[in-house]
Amino acid sequence: MRYYRTTMGTDNLIANLLKGWRFLYKRGFIEGFGHLSYRLPDTDQFVVVRHSLGPNATADDLVVMNLDGRKLDGGGDAPGEFPIHSEIYKARPDVMSVVHYHGMYSTAFTTVAQDLRTIHSTGTIFYDGVPTYPDPKLILNRERGAALARTLGPHRAVLLRAHGVAVTGPSIENTVSAAFLFEQNAHRASICATLGKPLWLDEQTAREAGEELLKNGGLFRRVWALVESDNEE
């Protein structure tokens, strides 16, 4: 990764990707399954954690790939489901970071006849809905990756039936924070479903609250403060 750090000025991006990775691992989002990436600005390339990466990651554990799936730099193998990242980047020029993980609570909603909706104020950043990709098979080729990207559409996150989640954002900090908030909303919804009928926020209320949170940006800064704190321990 030395070339990309020194010639493209990505030191800070690499540092934040590693912080985000350690945070997600420590918080139980990854546990051996999942991967985090960011798009190298003004290129057709992205950086992603290598296959089967543990919590003690360094810059040498990162892999640089182009959007056609060719490895350009880095140690180890790319994750098998790298098409999740490459095809979303192709389809969504606004997306600068992607995380895929196997959320226990969020994924549960892909195995019952109940859509995951907004039930808590911090989950309203997903007010425009969360589509579900219907195929439970791993995203191991371009065709499946492109189909997943089409399902994602303009949304921030997409569920993968009986599989996992992909969350996107305009930065690493935003994406990691959004994944944390997404799973929190799903966790609360799961608890509510066991207690009785969930009281989902209606579409207009969720939109108004979500737009306010997105405009302010403070929610993401507060979650990223948790990321920084976890990395100091």
46-89 pLDDT per residue, tens: 999 999 888 888 999 999 999 999 999 998 899 999 999 999 99
| CATH number, domain containing residue 40 | 3.40.225.10
For residue 216, the enclosing domain spans 2-232
- Considering the chain, what is the average pLDDT of its residues? 93
Supply the pLDDT for residue 46.
96
For the cut 80, the answer to whether the pLDDT of residue 44 exceeds it is: yes
pLDDT for position 11? 81
- 5/63: higher pLDDT: 63
Domain count for the chain, please give it: 1
Instruction: Give the integer Cα–Cα distance in Å for 185 and 11.
Output: 32
142-187, pLDDT tens digit by residue? 999 999 999 999 999 999 999 999 999 999 999 999 999 999 999 9
> How far apart (Å, rounded) are the C-alpha atoms in residues 132 and 13?
30
Predicted local confidence at residue 199, as pLDDT: 96
Handedness of CA 62, 169, 191, 138 (dihedral sign): negative
Q: What is the pLDDT of residue 54?
A: 87
- The edge-to-edge listing of strands for the beta sheet with 71-74 is 71-74, 62-66, 45-49, 34-39, 97-101, 164-169, 157-160, 132-133
pLDDT score at 10: 66
